[in-house]
């Protein structure tokens, strides 16, 4: 294969419709916009407008509740933790906290703290994890291999 033989698959690209190029083109004169009116002008923005009738998004009642105090935790599964230890990105002999997880690339942001979940398997012995929270199954899985999870509000910083 040569560089001059490289092409898109047939039908992969389509030429743009060239409007306003004469009456014989099919989209000449008014360029497919019809005659006059708001929709024929540039800068038209009438999404949700229903000709003066109350729009449906204003007729329907509001639903639900948005809790502004809700905490958003960075979730870490045990399998992901084990993968980072196996790859040498995380040192299991030292306490594993939020800063260590960010440094290892396991999580990108700490948010309101780290929450440990039990998906996957942890085989590393004696790992000490500092987190803002953990599931019951995660507690059991870590204690089964001889480690411990320390839950603290300070871990959220």
As to burial, measured by CB atoms within 10 angstroms (0-12 exposed, 13-18 middle, 19+ buried), residue 156 is middle
Task: Tell me the per-residue pLDDT of 31-70, one tens digit each, with 9 for 90 and over.
Answer: 999 999 888 998 887 888 888 999 999 999 999 999 999 9
- For the chain, percent of residues with pLDDT exceeding 90: 80
**Residue 89 maps to a domain:** yes
What is the C-alpha separation between 122 and 128, in angstroms, rounded?
A: 12
Domain of 145: which CATH number? 3.100.10.10
**Residue 86 maps to a domain:** yes
**Residue 113 maps to a domain:** yes
**Residue 13 maps to a domain:** no
Residues 100/118, Cβ–Cβ less than 8 Å: no
Binning pLDDT at 50, 70 and 90, where does residue 154 land? low
pLDDT of residue 157: 47
pLDDT of residue 45: 79
Give the structural domain span for 139.
74-156
**Residue 95 maps to a domain:** yes
- Output the pTM of the full model: 0.59
Calculate mean pLDDT across residues 133-155.
Answer: 88
Looking at the predicted structure, is the pLDDT value of residue 13 above 70?
yes
**Residue 129 maps to a domain:** yes
Number of domains in the chain: 1
**Residue 28 maps to a domain:** no
Task: Tell me the per-residue pLDDT of 97-120, one tens digit each, with 9 for 90 and over.
Answer: 999 999 999 999 999 999 999 999
Pick the closest to residue 136 from 71, 83, 70, 78 (CA basis): 78
Residue 73 DSSP SS3: strand
Looking at the predicted structure, is the pLDDT value of residue 139 above 90?
yes
């Amino acid at each position: 294969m040569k560089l001059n033989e490289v092409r898109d698959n047939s039908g992969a690209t389509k030429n743009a419709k060239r409007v306003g190029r004469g009456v014989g083109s099919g989209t000449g004169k008014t360029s497919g916009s019809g005659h006059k009116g708001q929709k024929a002008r540039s800068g038209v923005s009438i999404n949700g407008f229903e000709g003066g009738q109350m729009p449906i998004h204003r007729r329907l009642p509001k639903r639900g509740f948005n809790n502004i105090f809700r905490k958003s935790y960075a979730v870490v599964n045990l399998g992901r933790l084990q993968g980072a230890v196996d790859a040498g990105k995380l040192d299991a002999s030292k306490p594993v906290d939020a800063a260590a997880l960010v440094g290892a690339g396991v999580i990108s942001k700490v948010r309101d703290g780290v929450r440990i979940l039990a998906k996957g398997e942890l085989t590393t012995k004696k790992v000490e994890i500092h987190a803002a929270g953990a599931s019951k199954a995660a507690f059991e899985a870590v204690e089964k291999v001889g480690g411990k999870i320390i839950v603290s509000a300070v871990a959220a910083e």
